[in-house]
Chain A
Amino acid sequence: DVVMTQTPPSLSVAIGQSVSISCKSSQSLVYSDGKTYLHWLLQSPGRSPKRLIYQVSNLGSGVPDRFSGTGSQKDFTLKISRVEAEDLGVYYCAQTTHFPPTFGGGTKLELK
């Protein structure tokens, strides 16, 4: 299975600060159709995961443009500009290029 490694495991931030989360995969995530199926999810406290970004850089419905995703092949980054209180929770990267889909271990975003 493809191993997804996220860093850091936790982040302590102040409201208004910008942060980045890294996600590295053990194999290239470029599928045979040329697309890269790397996604980012947010699990707010007590809630189900919610998809923020799909296919590296596409914002999900209703997701503010403070969120952005970049990367290619095996190396990906989620950036949050101007963190707001509603952004706190655990962020996961996930790959669906290879079966079975696999998830990173998560990055917990907390208030400083």
Chain B
Amino acid sequence: QVQLQQSGAELAKPGSSVKISCKASGYTFTSYYISWIKQTTGQGLEYIGYINTGSGGTNYNEKFKGKATLTVDKSSSTAFMQLSSLTPDDSAVYYCARGRTGSGDYWGQGVMVTVSS
């Protein structure tokens, strides 16, 4: 069955970076893009961007350019998102989802990122 397994919760200091992963199984990884979504209580759901898992090409929501960097490792069927120069506003749950639109049929379980000194 299709699964997107995300890495564990992160506690990071302001100014640092984190890299979270999304490992796909149960389907041909390179047949679907992977998108990333941020969820906070205040801002709700926000679309970050997507990565073409075959070519590595990316497209970002303007709001997250410079904040998020999406990469992929086809050999392990894993997509990654690095968040840099972290601030408390980056504290959120981050989801990966199958497909490039962020409204796909399969989602990961989410990763809680907490930014605190």
Contact = CB atoms under 8 A, between A and B. Distances in A.
Contact of B103 (A48, A51, A106): A51
B62 A54 contact: no
Q: Which 3 pairs from chain A and chain B are nearest by CB? A: A96-B101, A100-B61, A103-B45
**Dominant SS among interface residues on chain A:** loop
Interface residues of A, number: 21
Contacts of A39: 103
Given A51-B105, A101-B102, A104-B44, 12 more contacts: A48-B107, A48-B109, A49-B107, A50-B107, A94-B102, A96-B101, A96-B103, A99-B59, A100-B49, A100-B62, A103-B46, A106-B44
9 contacts: A49-B107, A92-B44, A96-B101, A96-B103, A99-B61, A100-B63, A103-B44, A104-B44, A105-B44
Interface string B1-35: 00000000000000000000000000000000000
